[in-house]
């Protein structure tokens, strides 16, 4: 088992927080190929394997039992950036002393683009740090992987599209059968670019349990 970072868009972060997302699909790099015997072949810098999608799933970098800390767009909040009457619960000196000169970590001094206002009445537009630069201590969501599958992207079914957070919870029962997969297709193209769905790549489909806590806090 290992602890690893994983990036999510703001839309998918909101789905994680809402409890509607328990799966994610990621393009496998390099892509598996099919040999003359009809077996799936996967060649990575440190791994070469062939067999069924289930066999190849065992070679993925992320495995069952791994914990993933979600990286998302974020920034530090300093006392001067807060709205009138808003507080961090600590003085600015206490925040800086506890966190290397920056505001308080993980929920008390961190703002997230997915759920925080993008406009401030005094300071104007919010500026966000890229998700790839989010440190482990600033993450607020931890995922524990419970299943790994390898499949073609377009093999996703209705249940999996719902688990991907393609529909709001209020729409699942009414619209899932007709709209879940098309909605997921739109989300995929929006994140990965036009034509990425039609390319139908091999993907690793990860199922996970969601905990709304920092990865280190959740271990304590």
Q: Residue 218: its pLDDT value, please?
A: 52
Q: Residue 104: its pLDDT value, please?
A: 45
Is residue 203 helix, strand or coil?
Answer: strand
- Read off the pLDDT of residues 95-114 as tens digits, 9 standing for 90 and up: 556 555 544 443 346 778 89
Strand partners of residue 7? 71
Between CA 194 and CA 133 the distance in angstroms is 26
Average pLDDT for the chain: 84
Between CA 17 and CA 130 the distance in angstroms is 19
Domain membership of residue 154 (yes or no) is yes
Specify whether 125 is located in the same domain as 144: no
Structural Rg of the chain based on CA atoms: 20
- Read off the pLDDT of residues 31-56 as tens digits, 9 standing for 90 and up: 999 999 999 999 998 899 999 999 99
CA 145 to chain centre: 12
Output DSSP code: residue 46.
Answer: T
Specify whether 213 is located in the same domain as 107: no
Strand partners of residue 38? none
Q: Residue 111: its pLDDT value, please?
A: 78
Is residue 78 helix, strand or coil?
Answer: coil
Q: Residue 112: its pLDDT value, please?
A: 87
Specify whether 181 is located in the same domain as 209: yes
- Return the residue matching tokens 């809402």: 18
- Read off the pLDDT of residues 133-165 as tens digits, 9 standing for 90 and up: 998 988 999 999 999 999 999 999 999 999 999
Domain membership of residue 183 (yes or no) is yes
Is residue 112 helix, strand or coil?
Answer: strand
Specify whether 159 is located in the same domain as 211: yes
Environment class of 114 (CB within 10 Å of its CB; exposed 0-12, middle 13-18, buried 19+): buried
Q: What pTM value is reported for the model?
A: 0.82
CA angle 115, 147, 201 (to 5 degrees): 80
Specify whether 103 is located in the same domain as 124: yes
Q: Above 80 in pLDDT, residue 80? A: no
CATH code, domain carrying 29:
2.30.130.30
User: Which contiguous run of DSSP H or E holds residue 211?
Assistant: strand 202-211
Specify whether 144 is located in the same domain as 214: yes
Q: Residue 175: its pLDDT value, please?
A: 64
Which domain covers residue 124, as residue numbers? Answer: 74-129
Specify whether 81 is located in the same domain as 147: no
Between CA 49 and CA 213 the distance in angstroms is 36
Could you give the number of structural domains in the chain? 2
Q: Above 90 in pLDDT, residue 91? A: no
Specify whether 33 is located in the same domain as 117: no
């Amino acid at each position: 088992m290992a602890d690893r970072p994983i990036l999510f868009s703001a839309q998918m972060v909101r789905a994680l927080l809402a409890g509607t997302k328990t799966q994610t699909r990621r393009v496998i790099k390099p892509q598996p190929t099919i040999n003359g015997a009809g077996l799936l072949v996967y060649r990575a810098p440190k791994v070469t394997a062939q067999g069924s999608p289930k066999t190849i799933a065992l070679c993925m970098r992320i495995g069952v039992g791994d914990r993933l800390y979600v990286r998302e767009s974020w920034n530090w909040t300093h006392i001067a950036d807060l709205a009138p009457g808003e507080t961090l619960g600590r003085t600015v000196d206490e925040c800086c002393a506890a966190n290397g000169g920056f505001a308080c970590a993980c929920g008390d001094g961190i703002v997230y683009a997915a759920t925080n206002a993008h406009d401030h009445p005094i300071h104007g537009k919010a500026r966000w740090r890229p998700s790839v630069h989010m440190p482990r201590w600033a993450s607020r969501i931890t995922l524990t992987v419970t299943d790994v599958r390898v499949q073609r992207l377009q093999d996703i079914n209705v249940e999996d599209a719902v688990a991907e957070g393609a529909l709001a919870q209020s729409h699942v029962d009414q619209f899932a059968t007709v709209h879940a997969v098309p909605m997921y297709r739109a989300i995929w193209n929006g994140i990965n670019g036009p034509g990425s769905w039609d390319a139908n790549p091999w993907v690793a489909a990860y199922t996970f349990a969601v905990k709304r806590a920092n990865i280190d806090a959740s271990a304590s």
